[in-house]
Amino acid sequence: MQVFINNKEFSTKSGQTIYQVARENNIYIPALCYHDKVGVAGKCRACVVEIDGVQGLETSCQVTVREGMKISTKTEKVLKAQKLVIDLMLSSGNHDCLSCIQNGDCELQDAAYYLGIERPSLKYADIKENIDDSSEFITVDRNKCISCGRCIAACNNTVTNDVLDFKYRGAAAEISFDTDILMADSNCVQCGECSQICPVGAITDKRTKGLARSWEVDKIESICPYCGVGCKIAIHVDRKKNKIVKIEGIEGAPTNDGMLCVKGRYGFDFVAHEERLTSPLIKDKNGKFQEASWEDAISLVTSKLTEIKNKYGADKIMALASAKVTNEENYTFQKLIRTAVGTNNIDHCARL
C-alpha cells in the first residue's frame, strides 16, 4: 500500500507500524521504549506523530499504516510534544553526558540533539545517587533510567530469566531485581541483555567504563569463540590500542538475535591476557617448557604422531577440536585427522 510521510509517498507492507515505515525510509522519529525484539510498549510517548483526519497525536510505534494514510512527523505540535517528553526525561535524571559511558551512543542524547534541547528546562533538586555496582559485570545507575521498560521486557520475555521488574508506581517507579535486592544477590545470570537493550546509560557494562569512547572503537563482526551455538558478536576494538573494550550480540542474527551468555559477552580478557601463550612450548630434557618456533613444534608433533601410527596404528590416535576456533579451522582439523592421520577418532569440546 501507499502512504505519505511529510508529503512524500512511500510503499509499505500491510501490518507495519508508522514507526517501522519511517525508520525503513530513514525518517527519524525518537522512540525510546520501542525495540524490535521486545515489541510495542507505548510507554515513552516520544514517537508521537500527526495523522490527517485523526484528532490529537498518535504514538507511531502503536499505529499500523492504512492505505493512503497521511502522516506528519515534524509539525509544530509534534515537535512540541516530543520536546516536552525528552525534556522531562532529562530533567528527572542525572544526565552527566560528559562522563557517561553511553556518550555518543545514547538514544536520549540523539533525541535531545534532534529536538535542539540544549539543557533541561526543569531541575530536580534532590537527585540522590542510586547506583547498584554489586554485580560482577554490570553497573546499574537508576538516575539515568528513563523507565522505558525495555530491560524488563528483555529479561522476562527474550532471555526469559525473569529477574527484572518495576517497583513502586508513578514518579517513584524504578527497576528492581527479584524482590528488590541487589543485582549480585538476585537470580541474574549476568547475560547482559538488559545492558545491550537499554537506550541510555542506566545499565552498562562495568569493565568498559573508562576505556575507549563509543566513537573511538571499530565494531568487528565475528562469532563467539566459546560454544557450538555460534552466536554472532560485534567486537568493539579500541583502534588506537588495538584492544577489545566490549562485546555485543548482533541484533537480528539468526543464531542469537543479539543475545549472549555471560561467557560470550564478558569473557574476553583471555585475548590480551599477559599469561596467554603466544608461541609454542617444548619440554627440554629436564621437563621444563621452553619457547620454540612453530616449525620445530610442528615437526616434533608430526614425528611423534608418525611414530605412534607406525607402531600401533592410526586408531591409537585421537584428536579433540576446540570451540575457541572457527568452524573453518575445525573443518580443516577433522580433515587432517581423518585423511592425513587416518582415524575417525575426532571429537569436539563443545559436546561436553
289's grid cell = 617448557
**By CB under 6 A, how many residues form the interface with ligand SF4?**
37
User: Within positions 201 to 220, which residues make up the interface with ligand SF4, using CB under 6 A?
Assistant: 201-203
Q: Does 260 bind ligand SF4 (CB under 6 A)?
A: no
Nearer to ligand SF4, 247 or 337 (CB): 247
x/- letters, 120..159, toward ligand SF4 (CB under 6 A): ------------------x-----xxxxxxxx--xx---x
Smallest gap from Cβ 119 to ligand SF4, in A, equals 11
Nearer to ligand SF4, 50 or 107 (CB): 107
Q: Is 208 exposed, middle or buried (0-12, 13-18, 19+ CB in 10 A)?
A: buried
Helix axes 107-115 and 76-91, enclosed angle (nearest 10):
130
Question: Which of 175, 233, 234, 250 is close enough to bind ligand SF4 by CB under 6 A?
Answer: 175
Question: Which of 191, 235, 250, 337 is close enough to bind ligand SF4 by CB under 6 A?
Answer: 191
Nearer to ligand SF4, 210 or 287 (CB): 210
290's grid cell = 621452553
Q: Count CA atoms within 13 Å of residue 80 on its CB side.
A: 6
Nearest to 110 by CA among 142, 62, 146, 77: 146
Question: Which of 109, 176, 208, 256 is close enough to bind ligand SF4 by CB under 6 A?
Answer: 109
Nearest to 159 by CA among 132, 183, 195, 186: 195
What type of residue sits at position 5? I
3-state secondary structure of 194: helix
By the criterion CB under 6 A, which residues form the site for ligand SF4?
Answer: 95-97, 100, 102-103, 106, 108-109, 138, 144-151, 154-155, 159, 161, 163-164, 175, 188-194, 198, 200-203
